[in-house]
Structure 1
Amino acid sequence: MPLTPLDIHNKEFKRGFRGYDEDEVNEFLDLIIKDYEALIRENKEQQNQMATLQERLDRFANIEETLSKTIIVAQEAADEVKSNSKKEAQLIIREAEKNADRIVNEALVKSGKISLEIEELKKQAAIYRTRFRTLLEAQLELLKSDDWDVIQGSSAQAYSER
């Protein structure tokens, strides 16, 4: 059990024949009591200060732990956002590729239809040319024929008889 200032104050020493001077011992004991009380007060203050510092340290440790957890959660959230963004980008690319394929296929189909229409128009133009040539040739034959001279001669005769 630790010694208290009161224990020092109440301590009684036996008296001997040539013992110490009682007043001098009492003065020294008073000094020891004052110093001992001061040390005890200082010790309590340091213990209180240490308890306060320990509380602050515990609070900071708690804050540090919370921040670490927050950073981990933020990193996981960032990774998840990054992953979702990549997935969304891939989805957009796939959709764009599908649309591009659809557009190309539609263009090919339209191109095929236009090619068929062009071929049909070429055939119709060839048929028209052939018919027109046949008509012109028939007209030329008609102009070259003797019937025309007969028609012309009877017209001339009819004109001169007038």
Structure 2
Amino acid sequence: MANDLDLLKVVDVEGVVFSRGLRGYAADEVDEFLDRVADTLQRYSELHATDQMRIRELETAIRENDELKMSLQNALTMAKKTSEDFLVSSQKESEAVLAQAKAKAEGMLADAVAQKTQLLGEIEELRRSKEHFVADAKAAVLRYNMLLDGLQEKKDQ
């Protein structure tokens, strides 16, 4: 394949001059053909330049897309890690809240049991007080009955 130095340019075709021979080609036809070749080369040159520019644009877009892809992958990785960290943190926090609630419930239960024991003790003490009161009241009634009986006997005598 020829390198860029061997390639004909439009000016090469436009500037070519052939020597005239006795039985040469018709000059007008050769000039017309060379003009068409020059125009074609010019068009191919423009297309090539446009293609090269488009290739550079696409290569730039690919690099930018690769950078964006890498950035998005990094963001996704970071979001995943943040999500996992948040999940772990939430689990720890929920376990702490649960443990705190359990400790509070156990404390409330212990307070209720202590209060129940105290109230049962007070009930028992009130029961004994009632029994003493009833016994004292019966004894007082008995004494008053005996006094009344004694007064009745004195009155009867």
Q: TM-score, normalised by structure 1?
A: 0.80
TM superposition shift of 1:68: 2.6
Contiguous gaps of at least 5 residues in structure 1: 155-162
Matching residue of 2:98: 93
| Separation (CA, whole Å) in 1 of partners of 2:107 and 2:156 | 73
Q: Is 1:49 equivalent to 2:49 in the alignment?
A: no
Matching residue of 2:45: 40
Q: Is 1:67 equivalent to 2:76 in the alignment?
A: no
Match of 2:153 among 124, 149, 155: 149
Match of 2:118 among 96, 107, 113: 113
| Separation (CA, whole Å) in 1 of partners of 2:28 and 2:146 | 171
Kindly provide the CA deviation profile for residues 69-116 of structure 1, in whole angstroms up to 9, marking residues without a partner as x. 222222222222222222211111110000000000011111111111
Q: Which moved more, 1:6-15 or 1:27-36?
A: 6-15
Q: Secondary structure at the match of 2:37?
A: helix
Kindly provide the CA deviation profile for residues 122-145 of structure 1, in whole angstroms up to 9, marking residues without a partner as x. 111111111111121122123233
Contiguous gaps of at least 5 residues in structure 2: 1-5
Q: Secondary structure at the match of 2:99?
A: helix
| Separation (CA, whole Å) in 1 of partners of 2:47 and 2:114 | 98
| Separation (CA, whole Å) in 2 of partners of 1:23 and 1:134 | 160
What is the CA RMSD across the aligned residues, in angstroms? 2.2
| Separation (CA, whole Å) in 1 of partners of 2:61 and 2:142 | 117
Q: Which moved more, 1:23-32 or 1:6-15?
A: 6-15
TM superposition shift of 1:61: 2.9
Percent of aligned pairs with the same amino acid:
21
Matching residue of 1:76: 81
How many residues are paired up? 152
| Separation (CA, whole Å) in 2 of partners of 1:38 and 1:118 | 115
- The amino acid that maps onto 1:9 is E
